[in-house]
Amino acid sequence: MSNPLHSPAAERNRQPILEVLRTLLPATGRALEVASGTGQHVAWFAAALPGWTWQPSDAQAETLDSITAWCAQAGVHNVRPPVLLDVLAPQWPGNGAAFATPLDLIYCANMLHIAPWACCAALMQGAARHLAPGGHLVTYGPYLEDGVPTAPGNQAFDASLRERNPAWGIRRLEDVAQVAAAAGLHLVARHALPANNLLLVWARQPPTP
């Protein structure tokens, strides 16, 4: 098998993300990773959370071999073969094999800012369709927040994204929350992580007053 793709950012952030997931997740469950990319996250999480079954996915066919390679290197046996998944498709995943049972976790890192805005609503709607009662959607990445100064690095990153593609850009948390609420999901936890990123936890139940 060819060498897997490598993301330095994924290598840096996988452990801080895992530490939050450990506080959130029970010992066992079923997880879908949307936009798995290189596969570094799912391989790391599967090794650390062996009671969970993981389904990686990505919209780019060329990443699937990399995901498989990372999981093979990690020696994990609780990861299903990766599938093509376009969040905009009316049925997940886009290859026609719908998920047979509800999911306890849907995890999506670093997608919203490198995808058209319509993908945010599609992610929320898909999560609402497929999450089990008590399940969570976890999103990770940079966000803009009202009343919170934007780090210079994120300002530059946002500008570079919009220059590459006008449909891309760091999303405003309040806008994401509004789209999530329209799908029936509510923000229940916000975790600040290194390098000016946030890990956000979404669930069906509204936050306690």
Model pLDDT, residue 98: 62
Model pLDDT, residue 153: 96
Q: Which residues contact residue 106 at a Cβ distance below 8 angstroms, ignoring those fewer than 6 apart?
A: 31, 32, 33, 34, 126, 127, 130, 131, 135, 136, 137, 138
Model pLDDT, residue 97: 59
Residue 56 lies in a domain: yes
Which residue numbers in the chain have pLDDT < 70?
A: 1-2, 94-98, 206-209
Model pLDDT, residue 99: 72
Residue 1 lies in a domain: no
Helix, strand or coil, per DSSP, at residue 162:
helix
Single-letter residue type at 16: P
CATH number at residue 70: 3.40.50.150
Residue 209 lies in a domain: no
Residue 20 lies in a domain: yes
The tally of domains found in the chain comes to: 1
Range of the domain at 35: 8-203
Model pLDDT, residue 207: 55
Residue 61 lies in a domain: yes
Residue 208 lies in a domain: no
Model pLDDT, residue 209: 57
pLDDT digits (tens, 9 = 90+) for 171-198: 999 999 999 999 999 999 999 999 999 9
- For the chain, how far is it from start to end, CA to CA, in angstroms? 52
Model pLDDT, residue 128: 95
Residue 105 lies in a domain: yes
Model pLDDT, residue 205: 72
> pTM to 2 decimals?
0.95
